[in-house]
Amino acid sequence: MFLLMPTNQYSSILGKYYPKQKHWLKMLGLMLVLSVSLTLLNLLICRSCSQTRADMLVTFGYNFCYTTGLWLANGLPSELLNRYVDWTQNPLRRFLTTVLVSLVASLVVIFVVSAAFRVGYFHRPLWSINWQSYAIPLGITLIVSLFMHSRSFLLSWREVSVRAQRLEKENAQAQADSLRRQLDPHFLFNSLNALTSLVEENDPARAARFIRQLSQVYRYVLESQNQEVVTLPEELQFGEAYLFLQRTRLGEGLQVERHFPAAAPLDEWLVPPLALQLLLENAIKHNATSQRNPLHISLTLDEVDRTLTVRNSRHVRRLGAGESGGVGLKNLQARYAYLTARPVLIEQSATEFTVVLPLLELR
User: Measured between alpha carbons, how far is residue 270 from residues 142, 234, 248, 322, 351 in Å?
Assistant: 47, 9, 28, 32, 30
Instruction: State CA 218 to chain mean position distance.
Output: 33
Residue 9 pLDDT level (bands cut at 50, 70, 90)? very low
pTM over 0.75: no
pLDDT tens sequence across 292-351: 889 999 999 998 899 999 999 998 887 665 555 557 788 888 888 878 889 999 999 989
Give the residue among 280, 253, 275, 239 at the shortest CA–CA distance from 194. 253
Give the integer Cα–Cα distance in Å for 270 and 362.
8
Of residues 54 and 240, the one with the higher pLDDT is 240
pLDDT tens sequence across 143-188: 766 666 676 667 667 776 777 777 666 666 655 555 545 555 666 7
